[in-house]
Amino acid sequence: MDLSPVVDGVVRGACWHDCPDTCSWQITVQDGRAVQLRGDPDHPFTSGGLCAKVNPYLQDRLYSADRVLHPLRRVGPKGDGRFEQVSWDAALDDISGRLQQVIEESGGEAVLPYSYVGTQGMVQGMSIDRRFFALIGASRLERTICGDNGQAGYTAAMGTYVGIDPEDIVHARLILLWGTNTVVTNLHLWPYVLKARRDNGAKVVVIDPVRTRTADQADLHISLNPGTDGALALALMNVIIEEGLHDAAYVDAHTTGFDELRRRAGEFPPQRAAAVTGIDEDVIVELARDYATTQPAVIRSLVGMEHRKNGSATFATLAALPALTGAWRHRGGGPVGLVGGLMRSSLRMDRLAMPELENPALRSVNMLQLGRALTDPAMDPPVRALVVYCSNPAVTAPHQNLVLRGLAREDLFTVVHEQFLTDTARHADYVLPATTQAEHLDLMYSWGHAYLALNRPAVAPRGEAVPTADLFRRLAARMGIDHQAMAETDEQIIRSVLDTDHPYVAGITLERLAEEGWVKLRLPADGRPFAQGGFPTPDGRCDLAALPVPAVVGLPSDGLLSLVSAKYALHFLNSSYGGMQRQTRREKEPWIDLSVADAAARGIADGDLVEVHNQRGRVVARAKVGDRVSPGTAALPSGWWLPGTDGAGGSANALTSDGIDILGRGGDFHDTLVAVRQVAADPAGTA
């Protein structure tokens, strides 16, 4: 079917960002040039609106003067960012030769791919690329930077991490936004929350150590010590069980582990939990009663609180709440988790990477520990070639200075496929130009709703940019890899992903997607997946005590503060935009939230420049002193690119821990302790 760009007309597509909203859009093309972009007004979730980041996509990304449009070869020292333009032929010859040499001398494992969800497109983000690395026998990358701990915890308890359809939040009468900053990170879910408030008088509660923009708009903000959510959840269950507010019939019929849960909850009476969490005892008791007696009650969680050593244990504990109270019985009750599981379980996603091509005996590298992988002398073979695409690890991976030390290795051959000269790209031997969303075809995944979208290319690629899948087809051809897995076209890949008898996908074809732009998975009409039990666990029951009690770790001591570096910057999407003019101007500069008490103890006034530091690095930021965080906690937005030569500013990941969850494989970014000191008083005294 003809899916090529148009000269004149309106083309349907969808946003590429790693964001739960996956907005559908329409691009108007005149004379082969995209002239207008707008959110698809008919898409229930997008509802005609995009966001502050993506509204200027045509100017800021597609037609940006800063785009990488040609292959570039490094001419200066690593990290200097000096390159010369070369032809695709010359670049591919050199790169394929270098990769082959590394493989011959040190084996395929000496090559490490590094990518994440720079695009949520299934073709450009997770298909031909994966096949290529499997076929050359490269080290395998564990893509653990987001969602892993939450998924592991929920799955241990419920057999799934999905929960209910987020659109069913409209039915709820109590909404707990637990460790998620909806207004910033999941903007298009917010109207559903407001609708529930308007139509059902729903109460909106935010549980977050930071008074976020979302907390500002909630009916109640419960601030707690970071990492203590498990203690809070157990205390809530303690009250619920003590007061006989649990749904004994549901517990009896559809769960296991009640006695063990009761024992664990017994260890957290509200008084003790208050001491651990920093929440008033009364608030805990009232929330417990509210949660048990208001139906439907929904718990919306995302990834904010999973990035901790106790992340998966915390999520397993949270999963017991809706089973204990029988929240699942009511439409709009239960958890809303990582909804991507709906697509993972119904589409033929295995037709993307073709896992059968991969040799499971080969070494795997946890992406959270890229710095270690590049610098650890015990790595055998050492990583000699690194191929980065759809990610900017120089900014987004924890323990940034170790990552940078690795990227600076003169004996490391680094290739980066990018749209812009990111901090990672600046360290490359070759930067190869990548297309942006309006320039390539893709089938769009969503982990925040159940709408599948087709992104049709609106315009031809600019310059010499190529889609990710084409890059790896070209490389494979140069390296003489003649495998049928590399011969599939983008269209064929999309067709095979949709080729399933799963009831959710019934009636969804490429033709229909091309016509309508997006289609919702056909979910069961009832909307209450476990009202009658039937959890996808071995015994069909929800395990109320699936993982050990979440340890409380990383609490501050010795004058150190617990640093949360989540996504507080409204105009950044992870590090995308963290070095771009319009968005950095809007965000102004890196800032850090401090409590009045912690600031006073350090002689810091609102508006002062402060140095935030620990054994891993330092960041200079503007102090915002107030009541956004409680004493002991500090909040710094992630996403800023590396500071300029003046050393001001900086990426939160200069400070963050590169450890992993005690039980899982995900990260512990937010279990980071820092010291803070004043470097300059606010010069104008104006802040």
Ligand X SMILES: Nc1nc2c(c(=O)[nH]1)N[C@H]1C(S)=C(S)[C@@H](COP(=O)(O)OP(=O)(O)OC[C@H]3O[C@@H](n4cnc5c(=O)[nH]c(N)nc54)[C@H](O)[C@@H]3O)O[C@H]1N2
Binding footprint of ligand X on the chain (CB under 6 A): 16, 18-19, 116-119, 124, 145-146, 178-181, 184-186, 207-210, 212, 226-227, 229, 302-305, 308, 389-393, 396, 417-420, 422, 434, 468, 564-567, 570, 572-576, 638-639, 652-653, 656, 669-670
Residue indicated by tokens 């610098």: 375
Residue 127 and residue 485: Cα distance in Å, rounded?
10
The nearer residue to Mo ion, 153 or 433, going by C-beta atoms, is 153
Instruction: Report what 564 binds from ligand X, Mo ion, none; CB cut-off 5-8 Å by kind.
Output: ligand X
Q: How far is the CB of 567 from Mo ion (least distance, A)?
A: 8
Residue indicated by tokens 């056909």: 522
Tell me if the bond preceding 683 is cis, omega within 30° of 0: no
Residue 495 and residue 348: Cα distance in Å, rounded?
10
The nearer residue to ligand X, 486 or 634, going by C-beta atoms, is 634
Q: How far is the CB of 303 from Mo ion (least distance, A)?
A: 6
Q: How far is the CB of 6 from ligand X (least distance, A)?
A: 20
Query: Alpha carbon 150 to chain centroid distance?
Result: 11
Q: Which residue is nearest to Mo ion (CB)?
A: 146
Is the distance from CB of 565 to CB of 652 less than 8 angstroms? yes
Q: How far is the CB of 390 from Mo ion (least distance, A)?
A: 13
Instruction: Report what 661 binds from ligand X, Mo ion, none; CB cut-off 5-8 Å by kind.
Output: none
Residue 643 and residue 620: Cα distance in Å, rounded?
9
Q: How far is the CB of 307 from ligand X (least distance, A)?
A: 6
Residues with Cβ within 8 Å of residue 225, at least 6 apart in sequence: 209, 276, 277, 278, 555, 562, 630, 632, 633
The nearer residue to ligand X, 375 or 656, going by C-beta atoms, is 656
Is the distance from CB of 125 to CB of 390 less than 8 angstroms? yes
Taking CB under 5 A as the criterion, which residues in 422-481 touch Mo ion? none
Residue 71 and residue 126: Cα distance in Å, rounded?
22
Strands (E), 168-271: 174-178, 203-207, 220-222, 255-256
Q: How far is the CB of 597 from ligand X (least distance, A)?
A: 19
Instruction: Report what 590 binds from ligand X, Mo ion, none; CB cut-off 5-8 Å by kind.
Output: none
Closest CA to 680 of 577, 585, 593, 611: 611
**CA 642, 644, 649, 650: dihedral to nearest 10 degrees?**
10
Q: How far is the CB of 116 from Mo ion (least distance, A)?
A: 8
Q: How far is the CB of 390 from ligand X (least distance, A)?
A: 4
The nearer residue to Mo ion, 146 or 545, going by C-beta atoms, is 146
Q: How far is the CB of 185 from ligand X (least distance, A)?
A: 3
Q: How far is the CB of 255 from ligand X (least distance, A)?
A: 24
Instruction: Report what 371 binds from ligand X, Mo ion, none; CB cut-off 5-8 Å by kind.
Output: none
The nearer residue to ligand X, 386 or 434, going by C-beta atoms, is 434
- Assess 146 for contact with Mo ion (CB under 5 A): yes
Instruction: Report what 595 binds from Mo ion, ligand X, none; CB cut-off 5-8 Å by kind.
Output: none
Q: How far is the CB of 311 from ligand X (least distance, A)?
A: 9
Residue 361 and residue 581: Cα distance in Å, rounded?
45
The nearer residue to ligand X, 537 or 583, going by C-beta atoms, is 583
Residues 197-216: b if buried by 16+ CB within 10 A, e if exposed: beebebbbbbbbbbbbebbe
Q: Which residue is nearest to ligand X (CB)?
A: 304
Q: Which stretch binds Mo ion (CB under 5 A): 141-149, 221-229, 291-299, 535-543?
A: 141-149
The nearer residue to ligand X, 129 or 247, going by C-beta atoms, is 129
Residue indicated by tokens 């991969």: 358
Instruction: Report what 420 binds from ligand X, Mo ion, none; CB cut-off 5-8 Å by kind.
Output: ligand X
Residue 227 and residue 224: Cα distance in Å, rounded?
8
The nearer residue to ligand X, 40 or 129, going by C-beta atoms, is 129
Is the distance from CB of 137 to CB of 385 less than 8 angstroms? no
**CA 153, 497, 490, 415: dihedral to nearest 10 degrees?**
20
The nearer residue to ligand X, 529 or 554, going by C-beta atoms, is 554
Instruction: Report what 634 binds from Mo ion, ligand X, none; CB cut-off 5-8 Å by kind.
Output: none
For the window 536-575, what string marks contact with Mo ion as x by the rule CB under 5 A? Answer: ----------------------------------------
Q: Which stretch binds Mo ion (CB under 5 A): 146-154, 424-432, 444-452, 629-637?
A: 146-154
The H or E element containing residue 519 is strand 518-520
The nearer residue to Mo ion, 58 or 146, going by C-beta atoms, is 146
Instruction: Report what 16 binds from ligand X, Mo ion, none; CB cut-off 5-8 Å by kind.
Output: ligand X
The nearer residue to ligand X, 505 or 674, going by C-beta atoms, is 674
DSSP 673: E
472: phi then psi, degrees, rounded to nearest 5 = -75, -25
Residue 108 and residue 435: Cα distance in Å, rounded?
28
Closest CA to 14 of 52, 59, 57, 70: 57
Q: How far is the CB of 510 from Mo ion (least distance, A)?
A: 28
Q: How far is the CB of 392 from ligand X (least distance, A)?
A: 4
Residue 67 and residue 144: Cα distance in Å, rounded?
29
DSSP 58: I
Instruction: Report what 419 binds from Mo ion, ligand X, none; CB cut-off 5-8 Å by kind.
Output: ligand X
667: phi then psi, degrees, rounded to nearest 5 = -85, 170
The H or E element containing residue 285 is helix 281-293
Closest CA to 207 of 122, 156, 273, 145: 273
Instruction: Report what 573 binds from Mo ion, ligand X, none; CB cut-off 5-8 Å by kind.
Output: ligand X
The nearer residue to Mo ion, 146 or 655, going by C-beta atoms, is 146
Ramachandran bin of 463, using left for φ above 0, alpha for ψ from -120 to 50, beta for the remaining angles: left
Site residues (vs Mo ion, CB under 5 A): 146
